[in-house]
Amino acid sequence: METFSRHVVRSIPILCAPHRQILSALAYYYQFKKTPLKPADNCARAVQFIREAAAQGCHLAVLPEFHLTNWIPTDPRFAPLCNDWESYVHRYQALAKECNICIVPGSIVRPVSSSSQEASTPSTEPGDKPAPALENVTFFISNTGEILGSYVKKNLWGPTERAYLRSSGDEPHQVISTPLGPVGLLVCWDLAFPEAWRELVSQGAKIIIVPTLWTRSGASEAGHRQNPSAPSLFLDSILTARTFENTCAVVFANAGGPPGRNYCGLSQINIPYAGPLVRLGTSAEGMGVATLDLEVLEEAEANYNIRKDLEDPSWHYRHTQRVPAKPSKGKL
**What length does the chain have?**
332
Q: How far is CA 173 from the centre of its chain?
A: 13
Q: How far is CA 191 from CA 11, 62, 129, 232, 257, in A?
A: 22, 16, 28, 14, 21
Least confident of 136-140, 164-168, 174-178, 284-288: 284-288
pLDDT the model gives residue 217: 85
Are 287 and 265 within 8 A, CB to CB? no
- pLDDT tens digits, residue range 216-268? 888 898 988 999 989 899 999 999 999 999 999 999 999 877 777 888 889 99
Q: How far is CA 163 from CA 78, 159, 160, 219, in A?
A: 14, 6, 5, 20
If one compares 187 and 332, the residue with the highest pLDDT of the two is 187
Would you say residue 286 has pLDDT above 70?
Answer: no
pLDDT the model gives residue 291: 80
Domain locations in the chain? 8-113+131-315
What are the φ/ψ torsions at residue 32 (nearest 5 degrees)?
Answer: -145, 170
Compute the Cα dihedral for 283, 289, 295, 300 and give only its sign.
negative
pLDDT the model gives residue 125: 55
Candidates 2.60.15.10, 2.40.50.100, 3.40.50.720, 3.60.110.10; correct CATH number of 8-113+131-315? 3.60.110.10
223 CB burial (10 A radius; 0-12, 13-18, 19+): middle
187: nearest Cα among 162, 160, 216, 155: 155
pLDDT the model gives residue 322: 80
Quote the pTM value.
0.89
- pLDDT tens digits, residue range 75-120? 999 999 999 999 999 999 999 999 999 999 999 999 998 775 544 5
pLDDT the model gives residue 240: 96
- pLDDT tens digits, residue range 12-25? 554 443 333 344 44
pLDDT the model gives residue 280: 85
Q: How far apart are CA 282 and CA 287, in angstroms?
A: 12
- pLDDT tens digits, residue range 121-165? 444 455 667 889 999 999 999 999 999 999 999 999 999 999 999
Average pLDDT score over residue span 284-289: 66
pLDDT the model gives residue 8: 54
What proportion of the chain, given as a percentage, has pLDDT over 90?
Answer: 64
Would you say residue 73 has pLDDT above 80?
Answer: yes
Split at pLDDT 50, 70, 90, the class of 34 is: low
Amino acid at 291: T
